[in-house]
């Protein structure tokens, strides 16, 4: 039966079955606990992520359906292809994780505050130091203009947030992430929430049960360790694979 679970302070880093999450609000599973590395990694391994605002307890989510992106099937619009071919931007990985998460935490137009609290930033900086959280940076003339960050377990990348300060910069980050992960044999990028931006780039919704099955398979596959370095380059002649993995 769907219910909201309470995680007491100091409790073991375990979570209830995500299938028991509430339908309204969609995917809310538990409240409480902490943002220590052990609990965060236990959450991601089960397809659960934290999302809460200042003044709220830590809230843990597993929505149904789940937005995902298959790395080999990213959609690149004609205008984005022109941007990529222009070499206006340079992309990198794990060059400045702290700057990326700080930029993602900045309030967006029309929004008050941010869900990436100081405690969240500190928690993901710790994961980055452990070689589990990674960033993609996009540079223009030496300035950081876009990027994204997330958590990798095995061969699943759990996307957390992205930002842009220049046209197409966050899309360029996502294209480079998808290309590199495809080369590394990652079958799945978790997008967490469905947005028009992600759908335009090829994200799709799949049932939570299918998502969890895919995560439990891919998390056991060996993935790259330590600091990530980008060695994928955009090929204007390449085309996404057809069909769905």
Pairing of strands 28-32, 5-7: parallel
What's this model's pTM, rounded to 2 decimal places?
0.94
- Interatomic CA distance for residues 3 and 21, integer angstroms: 6
Phi/psi at 237 (5° precision): -90, -10
* Residue 222 pLDDT grade (very low, low, confident, very high; cuts 50, 70, 90): very high
Residues facing residue 104 across a β-bridge: none
pLDDT at 245: 40
pLDDT at 242: 42
56-105: per-residue pLDDT in tens?
A: 999 999 999 999 999 999 999 999 999 999 999 999 999 999 999 999 99
4-62: per-residue pLDDT in tens?
A: 999 998 899 999 999 999 999 999 999 999 999 999 999 999 999 999 988 899 999 99
In angstroms, what CA-CA distances link 127 with 93, 103, 120, 240? 15, 18, 11, 31
pLDDT at 107: 82
158-208: per-residue pLDDT in tens?
A: 999 999 999 999 999 999 999 999 999 999 999 998 999 999 999 999 999
Instruction: Tell me the Cα Rg of the chain.
Output: 17
- Interatomic CA distance for residues 185 and 187, integer angstroms: 6
Where a domain ends, among 44, 63, 82? 63
User: Same structural domain for residues 170 and 121?
Assistant: yes
Residue 170, token pair as written in the block: 């966050």
117-142: per-residue pLDDT in tens?
A: 999 999 999 999 999 999 999 999 99
User: Same structural domain for residues 53 and 76?
Assistant: no
- Interatomic CA distance for residues 69 and 224, integer angstroms: 19
pLDDT at 241: 47
Count the domains in the chain: 2
- Interatomic CA distance for residues 88 and 159, integer angstroms: 25
Catalogue the E-assigned strands of 46-186.
49-50, 59-61, 66-69, 90-93, 133-140, 143-153, 156-164
- Interatomic CA distance for residues 227 and 97, integer angstroms: 11
Task: Quote the domain boundaries for residue 13.
Answer: 5-63
- C-alpha closest to that of 189 among 169, 172, 206: 206
Does residue 236 lie in a domain region? no
Does residue 95 lie in a domain region? yes
User: Same structural domain for residues 18 and 137?
Assistant: no
């Amino acid at each position: 039966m769907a219910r909201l679970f309470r995680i007491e302070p100091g409790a073991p880093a375990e979570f209830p079955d995500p299938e028991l999450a509430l339908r309204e609000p969609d995917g809310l599973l538990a409240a409480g606990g902490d943002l220590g590395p052990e609990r965060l990694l236990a959450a991601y391994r089960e397809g659960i992520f934290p999302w809460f605002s200042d003044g709220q307890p830590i809230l843990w989510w597993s929505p149904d359906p789940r937005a995902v992106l298959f790395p080999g099937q990213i959609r690149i619009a004609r205008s984005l292809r022109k941007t990529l071919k222009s070499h206006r931007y340079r992309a990198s990985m794990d060059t400045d994780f702290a700057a990326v998460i700080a930029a993602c935490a900045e309030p967006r137009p029309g929004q008050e505050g941010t869900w990436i609290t100081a405690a969240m930033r500190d928690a993901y900086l710790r994961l980055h130091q452990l070689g589990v959280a990674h960033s993609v940076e996009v540079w223009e003339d030496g300035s950081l203009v876009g990027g994204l960050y997330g958590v990798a377990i095995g061969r699943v990348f759990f996307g957390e947030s992205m930002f842009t300060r220049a046209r197409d910069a966050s899309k360029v980050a996502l294209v480079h992430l998808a290309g590199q992960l495809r080369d590394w044999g990652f079958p799945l990028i978790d997008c967490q929430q469905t947005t028009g931006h992600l759908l335009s780039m090829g994200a799709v919704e799949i049932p939570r049960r299918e998502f969890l099955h895919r995560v439990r398979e891919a998390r056991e596959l060996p993935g790259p360790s330590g600091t990530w370095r980008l060695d994928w380059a955009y090929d204007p002649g390449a085309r996404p694979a057809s069909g769905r993995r």
